[in-house]
Amino acid sequence: MANITEPRTLSGFMELLPDRQVIFDKIRRKLEDVYSLYGFYPLDTPVLEYSEVLLAKAGGETEKQIYRFNKGDTDLSMRFDLTVPLAKYVAKNAGELTFPFKRYQIGKVYRGERAQKGRFREFYQSDIDIIGDGELSLVNDAEIPGIIYRIFTELGITGFTIRINNRKVLGGLFELFGLGGNEAEVLRVIDKLEKIGGEAVKEELESLGIDMKAASELLELLTHKRSNAETIEALRAMEGRSELLDEGVNELAVVTGYMSGFGVPEENLRIDLTIARGLDYYTGTVYETMINSHPEIGSVCSGGRYENLAGYYTNRKLPGVGISIGLTRLFYVLNENGWLCESRRYPSEVLVIPMMADNCTQVSDGETQSTKNRVQRADYARAIEVSEYLRGRGISTQIYFEKKKFKARIGYADKLSIPFCVFIGEDEIKEGNLSLKNMADGTQEKYSLEECAAAIKKALADTGSAALVKSL
């Protein structure tokens, strides 16, 4: 070919090498498995939508980042999150959906942000939402942290904290401390608490014209370390002074009250009165999830309760609660820090290697021999038989058919981190057995086909943990 085009990939678009992609996909599957275990429907909406529909609500920064274009006379945009498509979907199909509608969606979204390390223009979001028709029981808010807990635990992450708060608690406290009119600004400043510290926050609050005494009292309440029960108690002490506060405290008490039932230990769920999340979207419970040893990463899984999902598309009131994991960013962080379990990066558990010499006279694989030699290669035939047997027992197996030196064949297993090799040479065919090599410890033994499958199954089970992420 005379003209060679350089095979480039757009910057900001994650394209992984195979041994990374296989772990990424195992993580994605784990999320799907857990969502399904809780009865969430999968949902798959188009990547492209009418710009008019997708941008019904958007504005400012978001709109500038949109991939938007015309095809014919249609104004199209690529989705920039999975919430707007969900709102459109539920509004469009409300008559045919059964509520509460529980769905998960794991899909790519697009934002033309300035390219920089760790920021992506195409990235996966992994969302779950429970949408009610008119109303939605508060107990659904308690199930969400149960799902987060199971996901992180099953991925192998142990040291994480789900932070929970309630916007009504914050709103009630603002009322009590006379900060009502400044809610948005105060929240924005308080959100920076962890980054800039209490003193700087107080200064910023003062510059907003807020009474220093009130600011101090509020900050003490918000930031003093307490157990969940103590926090509820501290809030209960203010009972009767603000209806909004009382309602929020009660909600927080109910949601955290069911936590142990959902299997979430106290150390993994902490009431944190400083978290606020989105300013105009969430109205009740809010969640964040932090890796304890790495707070600098920020929240890896966030969400909350909202009063109305789809006000831009329907007059039907659709309250909901949900969380979102920025999957591409989470994977990027795990990978960059070396926190992925490298033992899970293989594409198959077994490589079967036919070992007879390629110039073996009584056989032919048909590629180079004359058409007179119609016999199958005995080691290929046996390799196929063995592989089918193993696959039938759920063991992922591939065969190395290429004519390469032994070193290249075993090197293939090695490079792909395949944990087991099965060798089939003339001896094994004569004896009706197989040589099984455990690539991890280098041991090699002869087995019957049945024994071989059992030995592989046992060894895979013994390696135990299906964790995809190192314990953080």
Interactions with a second copy, residue window 113-152 (CB under 8 A)? 122, 132, 135-140, 143, 146, 150
- The nearest distance, CB 138 to a second copy, in angstroms, is 5
**Judged by CB under 8 A, which of 402, 427, 431, 450 binds a second copy?**
402
| 281 forms part of the interface with a second copy (CB under 8 A) | no
| 295 forms part of the interface with a second copy (CB under 8 A) | no
State how far the alpha carbon of 215 is from the alpha carbons of 174, 199, 218, 242, in Å: 10, 11, 5, 18
Region of residue 298 (left: phi > 0; alpha: psi -120 to 50; beta: else): left
CB 424 within 8 Å of CB 386: yes
Whole-angstrom Cα distance, residue 245 to residue 177?
12
Query: Based on CB atoms, which residue is closest to a second copy, 280 or 367?
Result: 367
| 324 forms part of the interface with a second copy (CB under 8 A) | no
**Judged by CB under 8 A, which of 178, 261, 265, 278 binds a second copy?**
261
Walk across the sheet containing 282-291 and list its strands: 41-42, 101-110, 122-131, 320-326, 301-306, 282-291, 160-166, 269-271
State how far the alpha carbon of 135 is from the alpha carbons of 99, 169, 306, 446, in Å: 10, 20, 11, 65
- Is residue 58 helix, strand or coil? coil
**Judged by CB under 8 A, which of 327, 348, 353, 363 binds a second copy?**
348
Instruction: Give the contacts of 289 (CB within 8 A, at least 6 positions apart).
Output: 148, 152, 160, 161, 162, 163, 299, 300, 301, 302
Site for a second copy in 40-79 (CB under 8 A): 40-50, 52-53, 56, 67, 69-72, 74, 76
Tokens 């492209």 -> residue = 48
- The nearest distance, CB 380 to a second copy, in angstroms, is 6
**Judged by CB under 8 A, which of 127, 129, 204, 246 binds a second copy?**
246
Per CB under 8 A, the segment of 17-25, 178-186, 202-210, 441-449 that binds a second copy is 17-25
Instruction: Give the contacts of 442 (CB within 8 A, at least 6 positions apart).
Output: none
Query: Based on CB atoms, which residue is closest to a second copy, 24 or 210?
Result: 24
| 92 forms part of the interface with a second copy (CB under 8 A) | yes
| 335 forms part of the interface with a second copy (CB under 8 A) | no
| 362 forms part of the interface with a second copy (CB under 8 A) | no
DSSP class of 134: S
| 339 forms part of the interface with a second copy (CB under 8 A) | no
| 80 forms part of the interface with a second copy (CB under 8 A) | no
- State the amino acid at position 44 in one-letter form: D
| Farthest-apart Cα atoms in the chain, separation | 98
**Judged by CB under 8 A, which of 62, 380, 438, 459 binds a second copy?**
380
Query: Based on CB atoms, which residue is closest to a second copy, 293 or 396?
Result: 396
Whole-angstrom Cα distance, residue 95 to residue 318?
13
| 87 forms part of the interface with a second copy (CB under 8 A) | yes
Q: Which of 469, 200, 167, 213 is nearest to 339 (CA)?
A: 469
Instruction: Give the contacts of 89 (CB within 8 A, at least 6 positions apart).
Output: 43, 45
Per CB under 8 A, the segment of 180-188, 255-263, 295-303, 319-327 that binds a second copy is 255-263
Query: Based on CB atoms, which residue is closest to a second copy, 290 or 309?
Result: 309
Q: Which of 186, 181, 245 is nearest to 215 (CA)?
A: 186
Query: Based on CB atoms, which residue is closest to a second copy, 172 or 205?
Result: 172
State how far the alpha carbon of 248 is from the alpha carbons of 135, 216, 241, 301, 320, in Å: 17, 22, 13, 22, 16
- The nearest distance, CB 55 to a second copy, in angstroms, is 9
| 310 forms part of the interface with a second copy (CB under 8 A) | yes
Per CB under 8 A, the segment of 85-93, 162-170, 195-203, 222-230 that binds a second copy is 85-93
Per CB under 8 A, the segment of 215-223, 386-394, 421-429, 432-440 that binds a second copy is 386-394
**Judged by CB under 8 A, which of 152, 160, 306, 313 binds a second copy?**
313
Beta bridge partners of 302: 324
**Judged by CB under 8 A, which of 359, 361, 362, 371 binds a second copy?**
371
| 230 forms part of the interface with a second copy (CB under 8 A) | no
**Judged by CB under 8 A, which of 220, 388, 426, 445 binds a second copy?**
388
**Judged by CB under 8 A, which of 117, 213, 225, 374 binds a second copy?**
374
DSSP class of 180: G
Tokens 């009474």 -> residue = 211
